[in-house]
Structure 1
């Protein structure tokens, strides 16, 4: 067998020499990035359309500003994936900022504690006996502006000003995504001084407008961003996601191979969500549903960041089989369940959403949000025939893990080689179709042991590696992959007998 050297010449050395050259045999380690797309505060340090890594929620605040969409998305993401490599990219907000007023109609004569929840965060005001409505309004505006949840690190997505007895609350960012920003006076809080008719809530300026994400998405270049969370699911930006990730010239193209998948939330009725899903057919896009008019305390951008961050550590794990697992029941931290539980999708409703290309969620018995099933919007092949190949989000994670591992092994063993039909001298400088096939077979064996693909023997039987008939420098490969499937359904027939029949 010939020994391959990269630096030591194979001939011409005459002077005595005892030398080692040091090369790498290749050691593959899987890794992935979570990217959060959103808005920064005015004057924040991070520049628009410039992806930047953040190592903590505090660092995101330093870059994007306290209470900004990006800082809050990072906070919730780190609650669910504490050690995930996370990046943020800011896109300029456009449109009209939502404005609401909170009028203090009266103040309880005996004082007390008033609580109003804004975006799910409880803002509390202490009211002294004899305080006027104007005093209470000033205290409420101050509490909104100073709000910081010391337990979770949460800030509010609004700022406040006051005039006499009325607090004017303005969203930190412009855009229609603030349309269902939640204001709620809880009546379950014992002796809430704001309960009843104390406050009048009015939306005076509706939110409007959708951002142009072209610059932010283009700034990704060919850097690896596997899991992209964008709060915007308007038709124009959905079209931009398709352009970013398409298989012909986008991030999934053979000429780029940097991959990526976009998750976007959408709020609507089951009917509206179903209509949206059926109009889409993209294996690179996932729609995360929120039910409209259900009392959604958690804003859409935090809902998406939380759900995706909860599953990304599994989707990125092609070593222990987590990428292949059913994700049902994973509890999402930092998000609140809708208040109107009567509109939570039933099994039939969730099944309808899933069959329409929209993911689904659960509310646990103790009122927490959990993953039900996350899917892509892919439903039909190029001939408009039903196709479930790329439906499950696990398939995307597995595909990325498999392709990257295959490419790494091929690079380690066949990079910078010559190509021949046979290698009778066993020269390390030559590769053959047979040796390339062996590399892929061994890689498949490894991935089978790691729970990513199955039936490695069948893969070996079906694998075709051959030299191209027109280009002598090229090898063509057909690699038929059988992926491991998530265990989603267990169906059992519990047959009841009064007594087992006697065995004859």
Structure 2
């Protein structure tokens, strides 16, 4: 029986017509690239879930809308705000939330708004907390204490606020909803939109902010061990990580890295990428960046004066990257806008020279497009050095690993579908047609054919050189094993367009113009 059947037995004698179906030559790869959003949830045991149950910390749960996120994780929580940005930037993704408990031994960040002088004229105060605007009506005869009371009422009326508020006399105290150092990133300011948005301070009203308009005093970092253990081998392609303390970054780098136990390791083959954001001064970012070195982590640099919290930027960055890389993992992410995020004021934005310098120390960069919305400039990873500590750009940009993941999945789908239960023979073996046998040459031909498809789809280039450098051979010590040296040439991106404008005031009159 030269044809290899999988199901019909060779000793079957009943008449007449029997068919077994073989899909091995029909299927195409299917890409499930879920987003995992990691941040704090409110209160003990997280927020109420479906049917009055509770959502436990450290266990991922599927989320289908902003409203579901708020119901599960609590209004104003990190995850509530992050899911707002996720769905602003990617409405079609499969998204999961991973609620992390606040550090039990931590301290919540606080800040104070003091009404330093009462108004002399009526108006509207536009107050921004973490980039969220609330408007407070101000009467000409309001006292400082009354203005403070009205500020508290306006903040409490917005359930999405990342802070709670109370006032004593003319001082408003804001407290981050979650303990930990991340609360120190919360920004407070007034009239961010300026005259173009119709925002101005009511006459006579004076407000002062401690710590330059930032909350301060938050201490403590989250524990990721249980949450990471609970992920198991579930496929979460892209992670929006709210935290950038070194312990958290290292933990997620290990989960998604190249070690035996990492998602990019040879055993798990799950792949994926982690996105975060870090807000500080240029000088501090330039110092902070070289401390990181991971191919699987991309941290976006934000101006310290940026109103929106870094965890919301991380969510927007993840959502836009996931949306684009699913369509084409090799296209650069530059110019993709981060909807729902506010940029730093014009006079406080990073300069092009500063953005360029930060990209050399492993920081992804952003800058507003012509429409004023922040957009991805360069999707840099934190990878900067090889194992010997020497400068290296092998994994400099997010698209490199995204493209490799697509190639590996395409290849795995082809090999596991077409050769699931095959025998292995040497090249030149004369076996009958239809036999479930492969040789190194047959496998090599399949890999070259797959490469041609990947080339057609714009993922790789130089197919001839690939074929010349591809090696497929039987293992000399294990006759049942095939070893492959797979050398893809990844397609590159148009990231720089450089022009030397060598102008003239007038060309030589002796130039032959007959060909013009």
TM-score, normalisation: structure 2: 0.89
Residues 126-152 of structure 1: CA deviation (Å, up to 9, x unaligned): 23454444443333222211116xxxx
Partner of 2:461: 454
Partner of 1:6: 6
Q: Is 478-487 or 228-237 further displaced after alignment?
A: 228-237
In structure 2, what is the Cα distance between the partners aligned to 1:200 and 1:496?
54
In structure 2, what is the Cα distance between the partners aligned to 1:221 and 1:30?
19
Structure 2 residue 342 is the aligned partner of structure 1 residue 336: yes
Partner of 2:134: 123
In structure 2, what is the Cα distance between the partners aligned to 1:423 and 1:254?
34
Name stretches of at least 5 consecutive residues in structure 2 with no aligned partner.
49-54
Partner of 1:37: 38
Q: Name the SS of the counterpart of 1:161 in structure 2.
A: strand
Return the match for 2:154 from 129, 143, 149.
143
Q: Once the 2 structures are TM-superposed, how far is the Cα of residue 231 of structure 1 from its aligned partner?
A: 2.1
Q: Once the 2 structures are TM-superposed, how far is the Cα of residue 79 of structure 1 from its aligned partner?
A: 0.9
In structure 1, what is the Cα distance between the partners aligned to 2:173 and 2:388?
54
Partner of 2:108: 97
Partner of 1:58: 67
Q: Once the 2 structures are TM-superposed, how far is the Cα of residue 52 of structure 1 from its aligned partner?
A: 1.5
The alpha-carbon distance between structure 1 residues 496 and 270, as it changes in their structure 2 partners (threshold 3 A), is: same
Structure 2 residue 16 is the aligned partner of structure 1 residue 17: yes
Return the match for 2:220 from 165, 189, 209.
209
Return the match for 2:375 from 360, 366, 370.
370
Partner of 1:393: 398
Q: Name the SS of the counterpart of 2:329 in structure 1.
A: helix
Number of residues of Structure 1 aligned to a counterpart in Structure 2: 490
Q: Is 465-474 or 279-288 further displaced after alignment?
A: 279-288
Residues 416-446 of structure 1: CA deviation (Å, up to 9, x unaligned): 2222223521334222212211221111111
Residues 336-366 of structure 1: CA deviation (Å, up to 9, x unaligned): 1112x34433332222112222111122344
In structure 1, what is the Cα distance between the partners aligned to 2:404 and 2:319?
19
In structure 1, what is the Cα distance between the partners aligned to 2:142 and 2:4?
87
Partner of 1:278: 290
Partner of 2:359: 354
The alpha-carbon distance between structure 1 residues 55 and 457, as it changes in their structure 2 partners (threshold 3 A), is: farther
Contact 2:191–2:199 (Cα < 8 Å) also in 1: no
Structure 2 residue 78 is the aligned partner of structure 1 residue 69: yes
Partner of 1:151: none
The alpha-carbon distance between structure 1 residues 386 and 205, as it changes in their structure 2 partners (threshold 3 A), is: closer
In structure 2, what is the Cα distance between the partners aligned to 1:36 and 1:247?
22
Partner of 1:183: 188
Q: Once the 2 structures are TM-superposed, how far is the Cα of residue 96 of structure 1 from its aligned partner?
A: 0.9
The alpha-carbon distance between structure 1 residues 477 and 346, as it changes in their structure 2 partners (threshold 3 A), is: same
In structure 2, what is the Cα distance between the partners aligned to 1:200 and 1:275?
31
In structure 1, what is the Cα distance between the partners aligned to 2:165 and 2:98?
26
In structure 2, what is the Cα distance between the partners aligned to 1:163 and 1:344?
35
In structure 1, what is the Cα distance between the partners aligned to 2:454 and 2:199?
59
Contact 1:433–1:467 (Cα < 8 Å) also in 2: yes
Q: Once the 2 structures are TM-superposed, how far is the Cα of residue 289 of structure 1 from its aligned partner?
A: 0.8
In structure 2, what is the Cα distance between the partners aligned to 1:343 and 1:141?
29
Q: Name the SS of the counterpart of 1:49 in structure 2.
A: coil
Structure 2 residue 450 is the aligned partner of structure 1 residue 440: no
Partner of 1:263: 275
Return the match for 1:302 from 312, 316, 321.
312
Q: Once the 2 structures are TM-superposed, how far is the Cα of residue 482 of structure 1 from its aligned partner?
A: 0.3
In structure 2, what is the Cα distance between the partners aligned to 1:172 and 1:338?
24
Contact 1:445–1:456 (Cα < 8 Å) also in 2: yes
The alpha-carbon distance between structure 1 residues 48 and 447, as it changes in their structure 2 partners (threshold 3 A), is: same
Name stretches of at least 5 consecutive residues in structure 1 with no aligned partner.
149-154
Q: Once the 2 structures are TM-superposed, how far is the Cα of residue 205 of structure 1 from its aligned partner?
A: 6.1
Q: Once the 2 structures are TM-superposed, how far is the Cα of residue 404 of structure 1 from its aligned partner?
A: 0.9
Q: Once the 2 structures are TM-superposed, how far is the Cα of residue 64 of structure 1 from its aligned partner?
A: 0.8
Residues 189-228 of structure 1: CA deviation (Å, up to 9, x unaligned): 5474557653343468611221122222222211111211
| 1:475-486 paired onto structure 2 within 5 Å | 475-486=482-493
The alpha-carbon distance between structure 1 residues 496 and 334, as it changes in their structure 2 partners (threshold 3 A), is: same
TM-score, normalisation: structure 1: 0.91
Q: Once the 2 structures are TM-superposed, how far is the Cα of residue 118 of structure 1 from its aligned partner?
A: 1.0
In structure 2, what is the Cα distance between the partners aligned to 1:285 and 1:36?
14
The alpha-carbon distance between structure 1 residues 23 and 61, as it changes in their structure 2 partners (threshold 3 A), is: farther
Contact 1:413–1:439 (Cα < 8 Å) also in 2: no
